[in-house]
Amino acid sequence: MNTRAAKFLVTERAMLKPLPVRRTAEFEEIPAKVSKYAVFTLKGVLYSVPSPLIGHRLMVRQYAQHVECWLGGQCVLKLPRATPAQGQRVGRAIDYRHLVGALKRKPGAFARWVLRDAAFPRAVYRQTWERLAAQRPEREACKTMVSLLVLAADGHEAQLAQELEQLIELDQLPDLNALTQLLAPPKGDVPQVVVTLPTLAVYYHLFEAAL
């Protein structure tokens, strides 16, 4: 195969330039501003970021496998690089943990939230929402689902997913209070310790007894 291409190689080699002295950058830098919804768009993909970055203009470095968000010369966030799925105009890389704080303040917005379907961390959470929306008033369904996402974001995502799968098998809706008690029970009250200091007269009596 190389023999057949030899004459083309000779032609191309004459046009090649010397390699650069320094290694070229492995990333492309693109400025991006974080919207009030804690998201920014980069190369046709919508990324979510933690809410403290809202309103900031980031310098995003896009690598082959990940993107880095830089602010004031410091890397503040690293995310896996995403691409639009087939037939999808704009890709979405949404981490519910970035957005759950805002949802907690306005849970009623969850039903019509444009990023709702991209925010479910696992399929069982989406199934739970569909069952809640079908069997409970919208306000109650939203509040319950957002509270479940808050519980998941507190480090109980995998265990909560198992509990939700069991509830679906039993054809039951989640009981938020019961799940909270199971996964994140409130810490017990710290007992109040009262220390009574002895008077100096007690030490005099000890000295006299020792003598």
> Tell me, what's the pLDDT at 151?
95
Which tens digit of pLDDT belongs to each residue from 21-56?
888 889 999 999 999 989 999 999 999 999 899 999
> Tell me, what's the pLDDT at 71?
96
> Tell me, what's the pLDDT at 86?
77
> Tell me, what's the pLDDT at 189?
65
The answer to whether the predicted template modeling score (pTM) of the entire model surpasses 0.75 is no
Q: Establish how many alpha carbons lie within 13 A of residue 46's alpha carbon, considering only the half-sphere containing its beta carbon.
A: 15
Cβ neighbors of 58 (< 8 A, separation 6 or more) are 31, 32, 33, 34, 40, 49, 69, 70, 71, 76
> Tell me, what's the pLDDT at 102?
87
CA 95 to the chain's CA centroid: 4
> Tell me, what's the pLDDT at 164?
96
> Tell me, what's the pLDDT at 1?
75
Which tens digit of pLDDT belongs to each residue from 53-83?
999 999 999 999 999 999 999 999 999 999 8
Low-confidence ranges of the chain (pLDDT < 70): 188-190, 210-211
> Tell me, what's the pLDDT at 190?
66
> Tell me, what's the pLDDT at 74?
95
